[in-house]
Each structure stands twice: as structure tokens, then as C-alpha cells.
Amino acid sequence: MSYSIKLGILAAAVMATAPMAHAYEAGDLIGRLGVVTVDPDSSSGNLKSDAVGEIDGAKVSVDSNTQLGITLTYMITDQFAVGVLGATPFKHDIKGDGALSGAGKLGETKHLPPTVTLQYFPMPSGSKFQPYVGVGVNYTNFFDEKTTSTLTNTYDSVAHNNLNTPVGTIDRTKLNLDDSWGLAAELGMDYAVTENVGINAAVWWADIDTDATINAYAADDSFVDQSTIDVSIDPWVYMVGVSYKF
């Protein structure tokens, strides 16, 4: 028997005993579960008070947070799919920046950032390695906003210095963040471990902008002043986890 024939028989035997490839085909549903980190690349405008006006350099920043994430992909064809990103609520601290950089934590918020993308899988459907890219829309819902005593005391100091109000005039503050709609893009990969189970890694960028409103109240709950600040969060989102093809 020739050498080439022996190699052919050996290759056929290997293919016959090898596990089936992790094929992605039209109609498949791929679920992924893992750890997701939202890392804001945040910036803001200056704080603008109705009573005082714009305060030059009074800015804020937003820190990162990690939660449990889940994504779903539905294969429309062998190479195009619709993807959805979800997670348990993220919680972010809002800190002073610029002229307020030494103030520390001024507030906090929770948010949910559901993201829908149209995904493209360039590799053949039978490939174990399945990279993908996607583009779509992000909706971010902010809720459970809170301010700190640091923000309230800072507001009280500004009011005292600029409006000649007695120290202690500002007794409490309230924060509200507008929800955001924006573009999103993603890059990810799945690698098959078995026919149905694989490992996944992905990264997203989302355009998230919000207008923050701070209301200040006196001890008798009377309204004293309102301030606004526009905040660009624009986070990078990272996920590592496992995938399962249904």
C-alpha cells in the first residue's frame, strides 16, 4: 500500500472519530453567561446653577463596575445574527473632577444598559473558532440615584459664598439622570469546547450621554436651587464567559 493511500486512510479515520464541529447555522440560539465590566471613559461639562450660573471647572467623573452578564444571539442566516446584551444592574459612583477633584464621592446611580446589535460571523458555519462583529443601539436606564453629604455640603458652601445664604441653608440634595439612547459596536469570539459548549470573550463600546439634574432643598423642604451638568459616559464593556448553543 502506497504512503499516500495510508495517509488518506489515516485522515479519514481521524475525521470519522473527531467530535462534530461547533456549527452555527440559521435558526440557532446561542446563550452566553459571564462576568461583565463597564469601564466608563467619562467626561462632563461644567456645573450650571440657576442661582449662581456656570461654575468653571466644576466637573464629574464616573467609576467602573462589574456584574453578571448574559448575551443571546439568534442566527438569522449562517453568518448574520441578532445579538442582545443584558446584565444585573450596574452601580456606579459619581465623583468630583476638575475643580471638584478633591471632593470625593458626590453621588451614585444604578443602570441597566440593554444593547441590541446586528452581528456578522465571517468564518464558515462549521468552524470551531467563531469571531464576530456587530453594530446596533444601546438604551441605558438610570435609576436609584442618590447624592452624598459631600455633595450637599459642597452645594451649601457654594450657596453661602455666592448667594450670601447662611451656612446650613442647603439641607439635602436630590439627583436625577436622564435615560440615554446611543450607538453601540461590539467585537467578540466563541470557541467550541464541545458541540454545544464553548468559551466566549467580547468587548463593546457604547455612546451613553446623560443630563444630570441636582435639586437643592432647605430643612423645611422648600426648594432653593437647581443645577444641571451634561455627562458623557461612553464606556468600554468587557465580558468573559461560557457559551451554549441551543
Residue 69 reports pLDDT greater than 60: yes
pLDDT > 90 in the chain, percent: 69
What grid cell was written down for 109?
446611580
The answer to whether the predicted template modeling score (pTM) of the entire model surpasses 0.85 is: no
Q: Residue 59 class from Cβ within 10 Å (0-12 exposed, 13-18 middle, 19+ buried)? A: buried
Q: Return the C-alpha cell found at 150.
A: 459631600
Using the predicted structure, report yes or no on whether residue 124 has a pLDDT greater than 80: yes
Average pLDDT over residues 11-30: 62
Cα distances (Å, whole numbers) of residue 49 to 87, 100, 101, 159, 231: 35, 15, 18, 10, 15
Asked whether residue 108 carries a pLDDT value surpassing 90, the answer given is yes
Concatenate the DSSP letters of all residues of 80-139 into one string.
EEEEEEEESPEEEEEEEEETTTTS-EEEEEEEE--EEEEEE--S-TT-SEEEEEEEEEEE
**Residue scoring higher pLDDT (126 or 41):** 41
115 pLDDT above the threshold of 90: yes
* Per-residue confidence band for 100, with pLDDT thresholds at 50, 70 and 90: confident
What amino acid occupies position 187? L
Looking at residue 84, its pLDDT comes to 97
- Model pLDDT, residue 17: 40
Options 2.40.160.20, 3.40.50.300, 3.40.50.720, 3.30.420.40; which CATH number does 3-245 get? 2.40.160.20
Give residue 111's pLDDT. 96
Average pLDDT, the chain: 88
- The residues spanned by each domain of the chain are 3-245
